[in-house]
Every structure is written in structure tokens, then in C-alpha cells.
Amino acid sequence: MASDLKTVLFIADQSGLGSRLTYRRMFGEYALYLNSKVVAFVCDNKLFLKPTDAGRALLGTPTEAPAYPGSKNYFLLEEELESPALLRDAFETTEAVLPLPKPKPKPKPKRPNAKPAARR
């Protein structure tokens, strides 16, 4: 089931992170980015935070569940949505320990079409 944009906007508003938290639609679901790092996913209108030791230290014993069939377990945030300060801290704590995304390789320049040599 695809997630609703209303859910994503609610989460973004609750976090209080303003324009620092962005989102991108992917396969009917959403990835949430903080400072260009993917920190969470919204799948089936549920928030799944990337699991980190720092996030676990902040959240205690968070519920873990797969975000989609076949995925690894993520921290399923439910009650945390009602606590804007905790939600913001969870996003910021996770972002702080995640590595920067690898730069995408530049596409190789296309070779001009070589015309076949004329036969004699």
C-alpha cells in the first residue's frame, strides 16, 4: 500500500526541522533526508528510522520491524510522533552518525557516432 503525502507532511511538521528535512517519493513510498542523508522511510504510512547505536541509545528499546517485505529491520516510530522534541532528536542523532552519501559517478561522455569508412 502506498503512503500518503499527508503522512509525510505531518511527520515533517512534527519534527520541526523545517527545510532541513526533505523527502522523495520512491516506489509509492517516501525516503526522508536530513542534510542530504537518508535517515528514515515512510512505508504504509508508518515511520521507519534507520537503525544506529546512537538512535538506540536515545530511544531505549525501540520496536524493530521491516519497512517493506524483504528489508532489514528499522526502528518503527509510533509514539515518538507525538513528541516533536524526541522525533527531532531521533532524526538529528541518526543523521550525525550516518556517512555522507557516496558521490554519483559522472556519466562517461558519449563518443560521436563514427561514420563507417567508405569502401572502394
pLDDT digits (tens, 9 = 90+) for 40-70: 999 999 999 999 999 999 999 999 999 988 9
pLDDT of residue 54: 96
pLDDT of residue 76: 97
Instruction: Please determine, for residue 116, whether its predicted confidence score (pLDDT) is greater than 70.
Output: no
Give whole-number Cα distances, 75 to 18, 38, 53, 59, 65, in Å.
Answer: 22, 14, 11, 9, 7
pLDDT of residue 62: 94
5-97: CATH topology is Yope Regulator; Chain: A, (3.30.1460)
CB 104 within 8 A of CB 111: no
Residue 55 cell numbers, joined: 538512535
Residue 48 cell numbers, joined: 521507519
User: Could you give the angle at the alpha carbon of 119 between the alpha carbons of 118 and 120, nearest 5°?
Assistant: 120
What's the whole-number mean pLDDT along residues 13-19? Answer: 95
Confidence of residue 33 (pLDDT cuts 50, 70, 90): very high
Q: What is the C-alpha separation between 12 and 21, in angstroms, rounded?
A: 7
Give whole-number Cα distances, 57 to 39, 53, 60, 91, 102, in Å.
Answer: 16, 6, 5, 13, 26
Residue pLDDT, tens place only, 65-112: 999 889 999 999 999 999 999 999 999 999 999 988 888 888 887 776
The one-character DSSP state at 62 is -
Q: Which residues are 48's β-sheet partners?
A: 41, 76
Instruction: Please determine, for residue 118, whether its predicted confidence score (pLDDT) is greater than 80.
Output: no
Tell me the domain boundaries of the chain: 5-97
pLDDT of residue 14: 96
